[in-house]
Structure 1
Amino acid sequence: MSKIETPRMDAAALEAFLTEHFPQVHADFTVERVDPVGIRVRLKVADRHLRPGGTISGPSMFALADVAIYLAILSRIGPVALAVTTNCSIDFMRKPEAGVDLICDARLLKLGRVLAVGDCILHSEGSEAAVARASLTYSIPPR
């Protein structure tokens, strides 16, 4: 983003929003940090996130990136439940470690009135080596 903005929703508010609006998945994610530059979200890896071969599945990594950008947007604009993904591109770069939580550092590159664009780097807990990079665009509904 071109200017640094103070977040409107902190980690606790984002967690409460997930619990209320997405009860089916809220337990999978933890918002670890919200700051003027971005957000850090953890996927609490469980057996349901694994694929054959003992690695974290691509859909689970996509979900983490998608949730992280969604929450990054909400941290700036407030609780807008109907913001939706319009595009996602994800590069899988190396096999994440099974049985270890996945961390996503997300930042917004552009936050407009109707579109937001963000970038994510995913890595296994305890490692700085990226396992995936994602770029997402969201549509923000009119107020």
Structure 2
Amino acid sequence: MDAVREVAMSVAELEAFLAREFPQAFGPGKPHHVMRVGHRVACVRLDADDSHLRPGGTISGPAMMALADVAVYVALLGQIGPVALAVTTNLSINFLRKPAPGPLFADARIIKLGKRLAVGDVGLRGAGSEDLVAHCVATYSIPDRPAS
């Protein structure tokens, strides 16, 4: 990748790839949307509906964990390109406050990108707020890529 291009995949390319590889979560009418991608960063939105809520009317922990995981994956693919088999090897999340129902945003950044492993962190926040509802750190394993 040349120094002028800061991402390996655009938002449109990521959305198309994710809709093809993960149709349960991405594509028309699905809850996840790539909002932006940049150098080692990405933002993904979850349009949380009733299926993402837990008793008490708040977005569930599993829904937030999935969003955080997806956001790190998107930030990673933004750097390395369409590597479907990059997989999560570790994920740790701290739930900070109850998120209200509605859109939830995950701002991810890759803090270490090596040949075989990448580490990212994610802040989750509700619409119109800078207050984090959760913070996550995730590690991804990057498979060997064929030599060009």
* Superposed displacement of residue 37, structure 1: 4.6
SS at match of 1:8: coil
SS at match of 2:39: coil
* Amino acid in structure 2 at the alignment position of 1:125: A
Q: Report what 1:116 is aligned to.
A: 118
* Superposed displacement of residue 94, structure 1: 0.3
SS at match of 2:124: strand
Q: 1:105 aligns with which of 97, 104, 107?
A: 107
Q: Does 1:40 align with 2:43?
A: yes
* Amino acid in structure 2 at the alignment position of 1:23: P
Q: Report what 1:128 is aligned to.
A: 130
Question: TM-score when scaled to structure 1?
Answer: 0.94
Distance in structure 2 (CA, Å) of the matches to 1:37 and 1:21 = 21
Distance in structure 2 (CA, Å) of the matches to 1:16 and 1:70 = 14
Distance in structure 2 (CA, Å) of the matches to 1:37 and 1:82 = 19
CA deviation string 1:93-131 (max 9, x = no partner)? 000012x20001000001111000000000001111100
SS at match of 1:12: helix
Q: Report what 1:54 is aligned to.
A: 57
Superposed CA RMSD in Å reads 0.9
User: Where does the alignment leave 5 or more consecutive residues of structure 1 unmatched?
Assistant: none
CA deviation string 1:8-52 (max 9, x = no partner)? 101111100110000111122111111125111100111100001
Q: Does 1:31 align with 2:34?
A: yes
Report the count of equivalent residues: 138
Question: TM-score when scaled to structure 2?
Answer: 0.91
SS at match of 1:87: strand
Distance in structure 2 (CA, Å) of the matches to 1:113 and 1:36 = 17
Distance in structure 1 (CA, Å) of the matches to 2:47 and 2:113 = 28
User: Where does the alignment leave 5 or more consecutive residues of structure 2 unmatched?
Assistant: none
CA deviation string 1:28-77 (max 9, x = no partner)? 21111111251111001111000011000000000000000001111100
- Aligned-pair identity in percent equals 57
Distance in structure 2 (CA, Å) of the matches to 1:24 and 1:121 = 23
Q: Report what 1:17 is aligned to.
A: 17
Q: Does 1:74 align with 2:85?
A: no
